[in-house]
């Protein structure tokens, strides 16, 4: 980014640009998208966009980074809540798994309508290297959590299993986002993913 949005007003401007970009792509596709169209949709002059981004591609890269950093921060906050328990190993494992899956679903596929648009656009323009970096961050944070909690059943989540499960889940969410899975299917999707993880941990099947 050319200019870092340090003030609240500048941050709101950036958010409006991101939202306008996502809405245009969601409605019209990538073909014909221009900074002029984005500026008009966001209610700014095109010069305002160029204050922060030198090109449309740079705007895309910034959106991807912002979206992924936000999603990873939400994951980290969720894990920290359980790490902060008086006796971390006493956590309700089924509740934890469901909550973790829901955080990933919101961050990488669904959530409010506008966030779904931004997430879909990020999957469309994200490079393989950016995806790999995000996945690596997810896996390493989960491994850190497992090692800290010392829950007897979480010990089954070896580094390899964390790798496979994380990529399976995120791969599924990527497809759900790009293929516009009906939001009414989110509950069933959640249950299916939760039960997949539960089966790996040899717990009773989770329902509901």
77-100 residue pLDDT tens: 999 999 998 888 888 888 999 999
Question: Is residue 84 within 8 Å of 74, Cβ to Cβ?
Answer: no
Helix boundaries (H) for the chain = 8-28, 35-42, 46-52, 56-83, 93-108, 113-125, 128-149, 159-178, 186-200
Average pLDDT, the chain: 89
Binned at pLDDT 50, 70 and 90, residue 1 comes out as: low
9 vs 76, higher pLDDT: 76
User: What pLDDT is stored for residue 186 in this prediction?
Assistant: 93
* Residue 169 tokens, joined: 């889940």
Does the pLDDT of residue 4 top 80, yes or no? no
Does the pLDDT of residue 208 top 50, yes or no? no
Binned at pLDDT 50, 70 and 90, residue 207 comes out as: very low
User: What pLDDT is stored for residue 37 in this prediction?
Assistant: 94
The pTM assigned to this predicted structure is 0.86
**Shortest CA distance to 110 belongs to which of 174, 59, 62?**
174
């Amino acid at each position: 980014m050319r200019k870092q949005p340090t003030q609240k007003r500048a941050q709101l401007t950036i958010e409006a640009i991101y939202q306008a970009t996502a809405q245009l792509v969601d409605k019209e596709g990538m073909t014909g998208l221009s900074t002029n169209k984005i500026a008009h949709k966001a209610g700014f002059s095109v010069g305002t966009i160029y204050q922060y981004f030198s090109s449309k591609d740079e705007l895309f890269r910034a959106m991807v980074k912002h979206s992924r950093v936000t999603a990873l921060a939400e994951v980290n906050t969720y894990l920290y809540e359980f790490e902060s328990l008086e006796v971390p190993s006493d956590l309700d494992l089924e509740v934890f798994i469901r909550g973790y899956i829901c955080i990933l679903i919101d961050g990488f596929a669904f959530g409010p309508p506008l966030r779904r648009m931004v997430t879909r656009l990020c999957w469309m323009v994200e490079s393989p290297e950016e995806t790999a970096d995000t996945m690596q961050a997810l896996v390493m944070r989960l491994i850190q959590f497992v090692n800290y909690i010392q829950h007897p059943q979480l010990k089954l989540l070896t580094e390899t299993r964390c790798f496979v499960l994380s990529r399976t889940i995120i791969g599924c969410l990527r497809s759900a986002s790009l293929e516009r899975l009906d939001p009414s299917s989110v509950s069933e999707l959640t249950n299916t993913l939760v039960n997949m993880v539960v089966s790996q941990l040899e717990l009773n099947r989770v329902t509901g």
